[in-house]
Amino acid sequence: MRQYLTGLCLLALVFCAGSAAMAKTIFPYKVHTEVLPNGLKVVMIPMEAPGLVAYYSVVRTGSRDEVEPGKSGFAHFFEHMMFRGTKKFPGAVYDSIVTSIGASANAFTSDDITAYHLNFAVEDLEKVIDIESDRFQNLHYEQSEFQTEAGAIYGEYRKSITSPFSVLDEKVRDVAFDVHTYKHTTIGFERDIKAMPEAFEYSHSFFRRFYRPENVVLLIVGDIQPGRVMKLITKYYSGWQPGYEAPKVLPEPPQSAERTAEVSYAGKTLPIIDIAYKGDAFNPKNRSYVAAVMLGELAFGSTSDLYKQLYIKEQRVDVLDASIAMNRDMPLFEIVARVKNEDDLPAVRDEVYAAIASFQSAPVDPQRLANAKKRRTYGFLMNLDTPNKVAGNLAITLAITGGSDAINEYYTEIDNVTPDDIMNAARHYFVPERRTVVVLKGARQ
């Protein structure tokens, strides 16, 4: 009980430090980083969580790295194959070990990363390191298993594509990007998913090129002693041979004019408009990027004039949201609105443009910006109360930047953002020549 409380107590002390100073060291836990000679980076964060450990193996490869034609969705497919086992621990044995220790285990893939995570009792740490290190070095599966798993991927696609937002996301990416791999969603084009069973040989090359120690970060959080953990990591991972081959991801050429498209959804839905702008890669020290994050909240979040007008007063939309993506390469900064009356689509679109114009022409109220900073800080810290939440919050920034300093740098930069920075970000990113507008309408009304 007491140990559990200490972690939260630490959190309390951080809050007490005061907001301005707090941002310099927002992350409340001490981070221990070690790198094995083979390049494997190990980030350990002890926190008082009685007996619990979160163990993340973060591969710095996602759907961004699917550069070969016809292979979209492969990073995600490979995530599934990683559960098929090795000669030492075949899939069924791996499963039975995870089951016997009562671990909560899963994985996810995004544009930029593939993360495998287990939450378990610390007494099972060595067992987990044993099975995890083994599958990352010695994955083995038969062709029939590979082909069967492709069916599960298709099932995942089918269950998701009934959502109009999935259909819209596919279309927006396809229209906005010409050559960069962000053109496809993480699950991939349907035609490529259908062809997955034929890619058995390719899957071996995927493992050989990307599942290498210098492309992986281990993130271990919870009731741990870093010295002991490193002894085990050294024992089990040192034999892993380096050999990462970085894919040649083509940079997206500058966009010169607005793009527009319409997509039909097979079911019935209110129409949705997605207004997407080419942004910048995540860089915690890039003031423009960080200001854009704040702009997204201030211009389109729940306290924005536009939200109050369109959602609360006029009730012309039932969804209005902005997403300023955190990506390794140039992503889309998106504003999405679901509109109650199809005839209202042009007017809602123009209201979004007008809101952007207002932020381009005048600095935001400093008090609103201060409120947004305060919200970000408290929101972040309140979500660090379990090992899994700490690891989950860090995994993407760690993978994108390769380092554990990014979080502190990011929040420091947020604290430094001025109203003029917000105005400059609005002028820099939210311009027609960076814009793609896609409207989704239901086929049934």
- Contact between 101 and another protein by CB under 8 A: the answer reads yes
* CB nearer to another protein: pick between 213 and 296: 296
- Specify the stretch interacting with another protein by CB under 8 A; choose among 38-46, 107-115, 144-152, 431-439: 144-152
Structure tokens at 114: 């593939």
The first and second tokens of residue 404, run together, are: 């554990």
Q: Tell me if 161 contacts another protein by CB under 8 A.
A: yes
Candidates 201, 241, 312, 343; binder of another protein (CB under 8 A) is 312
Residues 201-260 that bind another protein (CB under 8 A): 223
With CB under 8 A as the contact rule, which of the stretches 55-63, 127-135, 250-258, 297-305 interacts with another protein?
297-305
Segment interacting with another protein, rule: CB under 8 A, options 89-97, 235-243, 351-359, 414-422:
89-97
Binding test (CB under 8 A) with another protein, winner from 65, 132, 134, 149? 149
Q: Which of residues 358-387 bind another protein (CB under 8 A)?
A: 370-372, 374-379, 381-382, 385-386
> Residue type at 53?
V
Q: Which range of residues in 208-216, 264-272, 348-356, 357-365 is near another protein by CB under 8 A?
A: 264-272
For another protein, which residue of 39, 243, 363, 442 counts as binding (CB under 8 A)? 442
Tokens of 133: 């290190």
Taking the least distance from each CB to another protein, the nearer of 208 and 375 is 375
Least Å distance between CB 320 and another protein? 13
Return the amino acid letter for 306. Answer: L
User: Do residues 137 and 207 lie in contact, with contact meaning Cβ atoms separated by under 8 Å?
Assistant: no
Candidate list 90, 197, 363, 402; residue touching another protein; CB under 8 A:
197
Which range touches another protein (CB under 8 A), out of 177-185, 206-214, 262-270, 273-281?
262-270
* CA dihedral for 95, 98, 101, 103, sign (positive or negative): negative
Distance CA 416, CA 413 (A): 5
Phi and psi torsions of 386, nearest 5°: -140, 155
Q: Which of 25, 104, 205, 238 binds another protein (CB under 8 A)?
A: 104
Distance CA 298, CA 152 (A): 41
Residue 363 has what DSSP assignment? Answer: P
Q: How many CA atoms lie within 13 A of 228 on its CB side?
A: 8
Beta carbon of residue 435, minimum distance to another protein (angstroms, whole number)? 27
What do you get for the CA distance between the two ends of the chain, in Å? 56
Residue type present at position 201: E
CB 360, min distance to another protein, A: 23
Q: Which of residues 165-184 bind another protein (CB under 8 A)?
A: none
- Closer CB to another protein, 256 or 367, in the complex: 367
Q: What are phi and psi of 174, to 5 degrees?
A: -60, -40
Contacting another protein within 401-440 (CB under 8 A): none
List binders of another protein among 3-32 (CB under 8 A): 3-6, 8-9, 11-12, 15
- Note the residue count of the chain: 445
Place of tokens 């083979």: 38
Is 214 in a helix, a strand, or coil? Answer: helix
- 307 vs 429, which CB is nearer to another protein? 307
Backbone angles phi, psi at 430, to 5 degrees: -95, 65
Q: What is the DSSP-derived secondary structure letter of residue 51?
A: T
Phi first, then psi, for residue 130 (nearest 5°) are: -60, -50
Q: Report yes or no: 47 and 388 within 8 Å, Cβ to Cβ.
A: no
CB of 85 to another protein, least distance (A): 11
Rounded CA separation 115/106 (Å): 9
Residues 38-67 that bind another protein (CB under 8 A): 49-52
CB of 123 to another protein, least distance (A): 5
For the chain, the maximum distance between any two Cα atoms, rounded to a whole number of angstroms, is: 65
Nearest to another protein of 256, 445 (CB atom): 445
| Assigned token pair, 329 | 């390469």
Q: Is 148 in the site for another protein (CB under 8 A)?
A: yes
Run of H or E residues at 320: strand 317-324
CA distance linking residue 75 with residue 249, whole number of Å: 14
Choose between 268 and 285: whose C-beta lies nearer to another protein. Answer: 268
CA separation for the pair 221, 12 (Å, rounded): 19
Q: Of these, 25, 30, 35, 162, which contacts another protein (CB under 8 A)?
A: 162
Q: Is 393 in the site for another protein (CB under 8 A)?
A: no
Interacting residue with another protein among 45, 58, 59, 122 (CB under 8 A): 122
**69 is a site residue for another protein (CB under 8 A):** no
